[in-house]
Amino acid sequence: MSGMRVDAKVVMLGKESVGKTSLVERYVHHRFLVGPYQNTIGAAFVAKPIQVGEKVITLGIWVRSHETLKSVKTKCILLSLICVFWSFLDLTDSSSFQRARFWVKELQNCEEHCKIYLCGTKSDLIQGDRSLRQIDYHDTQDFAEEIGAQHFETSSKTGSNVGESRHACKKIQTCVLAEETGVNLGQKKESYFYSCCNSN
Ligand SMILES: Nc1nc2c(ncn2[C@@H]2O[C@H](COP(=O)(O)OP(=O)(O)OP(=O)(O)O)[C@@H](O)[C@H]2O)c(=O)[nH]1
Protein backbone atom coordinates (compact mmCIF):
# COMPACT_ATOMS: atom_id res chain seq x y z
CA MET A 1 0.00 0.00 0.00
CA SER A 2 1.76 3.14 -1.15
CA GLY A 3 -0.48 5.58 0.68
CA MET A 4 -3.90 6.20 2.05
CA ARG A 5 -6.73 7.58 -0.03
CA VAL A 6 -9.38 9.68 1.59
CA ASP A 7 -12.62 9.27 -0.29
CA ALA A 8 -14.80 11.58 1.77
CA LYS A 9 -14.12 14.39 4.13
CA VAL A 10 -16.20 14.55 7.31
CA VAL A 11 -15.80 17.69 9.40
CA MET A 12 -16.90 17.76 13.04
CA LEU A 13 -17.80 21.27 14.15
CA GLY A 14 -19.08 22.46 17.48
CA LYS A 15 -18.51 24.54 20.54
CA GLU A 16 -15.50 23.53 22.63
CA SER A 17 -16.13 20.57 24.95
CA VAL A 18 -19.33 19.61 23.13
CA GLY A 19 -18.03 16.06 22.59
CA LYS A 20 -16.69 15.94 19.01
CA THR A 21 -13.48 14.07 19.80
CA SER A 22 -15.30 11.61 22.05
CA LEU A 23 -17.75 10.69 19.30
CA VAL A 24 -14.92 10.04 16.87
CA GLU A 25 -13.16 7.92 19.50
CA ARG A 26 -16.33 5.91 19.99
CA TYR A 27 -16.97 5.53 16.28
CA VAL A 28 -13.41 4.66 15.27
CA HIS A 29 -11.99 2.91 18.34
CA HIS A 30 -15.16 1.81 20.17
CA ARG A 31 -14.04 3.41 23.42
CA PHE A 32 -14.70 6.37 25.71
CA LEU A 33 -11.65 8.04 27.18
CA VAL A 34 -11.95 9.10 30.80
CA GLY A 35 -9.63 11.56 32.48
CA PRO A 36 -9.16 15.29 32.47
CA TYR A 37 -10.71 17.09 29.49
CA GLN A 38 -8.10 18.28 27.00
CA ASN A 39 -9.26 20.70 24.35
CA THR A 40 -8.37 20.21 20.69
CA ILE A 41 -5.80 22.73 19.54
CA GLY A 42 -6.50 23.70 15.94
CA ALA A 43 -7.77 20.38 14.66
CA ALA A 44 -7.24 16.62 14.79
CA PHE A 45 -7.60 14.06 12.05
CA VAL A 46 -8.41 10.37 11.90
CA ALA A 47 -8.67 8.18 8.82
CA LYS A 48 -11.24 5.40 8.97
CA PRO A 49 -11.25 2.71 6.29
CA ILE A 50 -14.65 1.06 5.89
CA GLN A 51 -15.68 -1.98 3.90
CA VAL A 52 -18.57 -1.23 1.60
CA GLY A 53 -19.61 -4.31 -0.30
CA GLU A 54 -16.52 -5.44 -2.17
CA LYS A 55 -14.76 -2.15 -1.74
CA VAL A 56 -12.84 -0.36 1.02
CA ILE A 57 -13.33 3.37 1.18
CA THR A 58 -11.69 5.76 3.62
CA LEU A 59 -13.37 8.50 5.56
CA GLY A 60 -11.09 11.36 6.55
CA ILE A 61 -12.61 12.72 9.76
CA TRP A 62 -11.52 16.16 10.92
CA VAL A 63 -12.33 17.46 14.39
CA ARG A 64 -12.19 21.22 14.26
CA SER A 65 -12.07 23.59 17.18
CA HIS A 66 -14.17 26.69 16.92
CA GLU A 67 -11.50 29.17 15.96
CA THR A 68 -10.66 27.41 12.70
CA LEU A 69 -14.01 27.75 10.93
CA LYS A 70 -12.58 30.17 8.41
CA SER A 71 -10.11 27.58 7.20
CA VAL A 72 -12.88 24.97 7.02
CA LYS A 73 -14.82 27.28 4.74
CA THR A 74 -11.83 27.77 2.51
CA LYS A 75 -11.21 24.03 2.27
CA CYS A 76 -14.87 23.40 1.59
CA ILE A 77 -14.46 25.38 -1.58
CA LEU A 78 -10.99 24.22 -2.53
CA LEU A 79 -11.23 20.46 -2.01
CA SER A 80 -12.83 18.34 -4.65
CA LEU A 81 -13.66 15.68 -2.07
CA ILE A 82 -17.20 15.00 -0.99
CA CYS A 83 -17.53 17.07 2.15
CA VAL A 84 -19.97 16.41 4.96
CA PHE A 85 -20.32 18.56 8.05
CA TRP A 86 -21.48 17.47 11.44
CA SER A 87 -22.66 20.22 13.73
CA PHE A 88 -22.58 19.23 17.39
CA LEU A 89 -24.88 20.25 20.24
CA ASP A 90 -24.27 19.42 23.88
CA LEU A 91 -27.76 18.54 25.14
CA THR A 92 -26.86 19.93 28.55
CA ASP A 93 -25.63 23.28 27.22
CA SER A 94 -28.17 25.57 25.50
CA SER A 95 -25.48 27.88 24.16
CA SER A 96 -24.13 25.05 22.00
CA PHE A 97 -27.41 25.12 20.02
CA GLN A 98 -26.93 28.79 19.20
CA ARG A 99 -23.39 28.08 18.11
CA ALA A 100 -24.51 25.18 15.93
CA ARG A 101 -27.13 27.39 14.25
CA PHE A 102 -24.53 30.03 13.58
CA TRP A 103 -22.16 27.53 11.97
CA VAL A 104 -24.86 25.97 9.84
CA LYS A 105 -25.60 29.42 8.47
CA GLU A 106 -21.93 30.04 7.81
CA LEU A 107 -21.56 26.72 6.05
CA GLN A 108 -24.58 27.32 3.88
CA ASN A 109 -23.21 30.71 2.92
CA CYS A 110 -20.10 28.89 1.80
CA GLU A 111 -21.84 26.03 0.01
CA GLU A 112 -25.61 26.17 -0.16
CA HIS A 113 -26.23 22.46 -0.56
CA CYS A 114 -23.51 21.03 1.65
CA LYS A 115 -24.56 17.97 3.61
CA ILE A 116 -25.08 18.63 7.30
CA TYR A 117 -25.88 16.34 10.23
CA LEU A 118 -26.94 17.65 13.62
CA CYS A 119 -25.59 15.57 16.46
CA GLY A 120 -26.78 16.02 20.05
CA THR A 121 -24.24 14.70 22.55
CA LYS A 122 -24.07 13.44 26.15
CA SER A 123 -27.54 11.90 26.13
CA ASP A 124 -26.46 9.63 29.02
CA LEU A 125 -26.38 12.69 31.29
CA ILE A 126 -29.99 13.61 30.60
CA GLN A 127 -31.11 10.01 30.90
CA GLY A 128 -29.66 10.05 34.41
CA ASP A 129 -31.30 13.39 35.25
CA ARG A 130 -33.86 14.85 32.83
CA SER A 131 -33.61 18.29 34.44
CA LEU A 132 -30.15 18.60 32.84
CA ARG A 133 -31.65 18.76 29.34
CA GLN A 134 -31.23 22.30 27.98
CA ILE A 135 -31.97 21.61 24.32
CA ASP A 136 -35.42 20.38 23.40
CA TYR A 137 -35.46 17.44 20.99
CA HIS A 138 -38.30 18.95 18.94
CA ASP A 139 -36.60 22.32 18.60
CA THR A 140 -33.58 20.60 17.08
CA GLN A 141 -35.76 18.40 14.90
CA ASP A 142 -37.60 21.49 13.59
CA PHE A 143 -34.27 23.12 12.84
CA ALA A 144 -33.04 19.95 11.12
CA GLU A 145 -36.12 19.91 8.88
CA GLU A 146 -35.69 23.59 8.11
CA ILE A 147 -32.15 23.06 6.84
CA GLY A 148 -32.69 19.58 5.35
CA ALA A 149 -30.35 17.93 7.86
CA GLN A 150 -30.58 14.66 9.71
CA HIS A 151 -30.61 14.78 13.47
CA PHE A 152 -29.78 12.28 16.18
CA GLU A 153 -28.87 12.29 19.86
CA THR A 154 -25.90 10.24 21.00
CA SER A 155 -23.83 9.27 24.00
CA SER A 156 -20.19 8.55 23.35
CA LYS A 157 -19.95 7.33 26.93
CA THR A 158 -22.49 4.52 26.56
CA GLY A 159 -22.30 4.20 22.79
CA SER A 160 -26.02 4.98 22.57
CA ASN A 161 -27.05 5.90 19.03
CA VAL A 162 -23.50 5.93 17.75
CA GLY A 163 -24.90 3.18 15.55
CA GLU A 164 -27.11 5.87 14.08
CA SER A 165 -24.03 7.94 13.45
CA ARG A 166 -22.48 4.99 11.71
CA HIS A 167 -25.61 4.69 9.61
CA ALA A 168 -25.14 8.31 8.60
CA CYS A 169 -21.61 7.49 7.56
CA LYS A 170 -22.95 4.71 5.35
CA LYS A 171 -24.86 7.37 3.45
CA ILE A 172 -21.60 9.19 2.94
CA GLN A 173 -20.09 5.99 1.60
CA THR A 174 -22.82 5.65 -0.98
CA CYS A 175 -22.04 9.12 -2.31
CA VAL A 176 -18.35 8.34 -2.33
CA LEU A 177 -18.81 5.19 -4.36
CA ALA A 178 -20.60 7.24 -6.97
CA GLU A 179 -17.89 9.87 -7.14
CA GLU A 180 -14.63 7.87 -6.97
CA THR A 181 -12.53 10.81 -5.83
CA GLY A 182 -9.56 10.65 -3.48
CA VAL A 183 -6.38 12.22 -2.21
CA ASN A 184 -3.08 10.65 -1.15
CA LEU A 185 -2.17 11.22 2.47
CA GLY A 186 1.23 9.53 2.53
CA GLN A 187 2.49 6.30 4.02
CA LYS A 188 0.13 5.75 6.99
CA LYS A 189 -1.53 2.36 7.12
CA GLU A 190 -3.66 2.41 10.28
CA SER A 191 -6.30 4.68 11.70
CA TYR A 192 -4.37 7.45 13.37
CA PHE A 193 -4.67 10.88 14.90
CA TYR A 194 -2.20 13.63 14.23
CA SER A 195 -2.04 17.35 14.59
CA CYS A 196 -3.81 19.58 12.16
CA CYS A 197 -0.67 21.29 11.01
CA ASN A 198 0.13 18.25 8.85
CA SER A 199 -3.38 17.40 7.77
CA ASN A 200 -3.74 19.53 4.70
N1 LIG B 1 -21.15 12.04 30.10
C2 LIG B 1 -20.63 12.25 28.89
N3 LIG B 1 -19.54 13.05 28.75
C4 LIG B 1 -19.06 13.24 27.51
C5 LIG B 1 -19.63 12.66 26.36
N6 LIG B 1 -18.93 13.06 25.28
C7 LIG B 1 -17.95 13.84 25.74
N8 LIG B 1 -18.01 13.95 27.08
C9 LIG B 1 -17.11 14.71 27.95
O10 LIG B 1 -17.11 16.07 27.53
C11 LIG B 1 -15.79 16.62 27.60
C12 LIG B 1 -15.38 17.17 26.25
O13 LIG B 1 -15.35 16.11 25.31
P14 LIG B 1 -14.50 16.20 23.97
O15 LIG B 1 -14.87 15.04 23.14
O16 LIG B 1 -13.06 16.41 24.28
O17 LIG B 1 -15.08 17.54 23.35
P18 LIG B 1 -14.63 18.33 22.04
O19 LIG B 1 -15.86 18.87 21.42
O20 LIG B 1 -13.75 17.50 21.18
O21 LIG B 1 -13.83 19.53 22.70
P22 LIG B 1 -12.77 20.57 22.02
O23 LIG B 1 -11.51 19.80 21.83
O24 LIG B 1 -12.63 21.64 23.06
O25 LIG B 1 -13.33 21.10 20.75
C26 LIG B 1 -14.88 15.49 28.10
O27 LIG B 1 -14.71 15.64 29.49
C28 LIG B 1 -15.66 14.24 27.76
O29 LIG B 1 -15.36 13.17 28.65
C30 LIG B 1 -20.79 11.81 26.53
O31 LIG B 1 -21.38 11.25 25.61
N32 LIG B 1 -21.24 11.66 27.82
Asked whether residue 186 is domain-assigned, the answer is no
Q: Which residue has the higher pLDDT, 50 or 171?
A: 50
CATH number, residue 89: 3.40.50.300
Q: Residue 104 has what pLDDT? A: 86
In a domain, 191, yes or no: no
Residue nearest to atom 9 of ligand 1 (CA): 19
C-beta atoms surrounding 148 within 10 Å: 10
**ipTM of the assembly?**
0.99
Reported confidence tier of residue 177, pLDDT bands at 50, 70, 90? low
Looking at the predicted structure, is the pLDDT value of residue 69 above 70?
no
Q: Is residue 187 situated within a structural domain?
A: no
Q: Tell me how far the alpha carbon of residue 81 is from its chain's centroid.
A: 15
Record the pTM. Answer: 0.82
- Is residue 196 assigned to a domain? no
pLDDT, tens digit (0-9, with 9 covering 90-100), for 29-58: 888 988 777 777 667 788 888 776 677 778
pLDDT band at 74 (very low <50, low <70, confident <90, very high): low
Ligand 1 closest atom vs CA 40: 23
Q: Residue 57 C-alpha to ligand 1 middle, in angstroms?
A: 27
DSSP H helices in the chain: 20-29, 69-78, 95-110, 123-128, 137-147, 162-179
Choice from 13, 17, 124 to test ligand 1 binding pocket (greatest atom count within 8 A of CB): 17
- Please say if the pLDDT value at position 196 is more than 60: no
In a domain, 66, yes or no: yes
Distance 43 CA to ligand 1 centre (A): 15
For residue 111, being part of any structural domain is answered with yes
Q: Is 134 left (phi over 0), alpha (psi -120 to 50) or beta?
A: alpha
Q: How many domains does the chain have?
A: 1
Residues 20/40, Cβ–Cβ less than 8 Å: yes
Closest CA relative to residue 168, chosen from 192, 188, 189, 144: 144
pLDDT band, residue 170 (cuts 50/70/90)? low
198 within domain boundaries: no
What's the N-to-C CA distance of the chain in angstroms? 20
Domain interval for residue 21: 8-179
Give the three-class secondary structure for 156: coil
Residue 188 domain-assigned (yes or no): no
Mean pLDDT of the chain: 74
Give the model confidence (pLDDT) of 130-154 as tens digits. Answer: 999 999 999 999 999 999 888 989 9
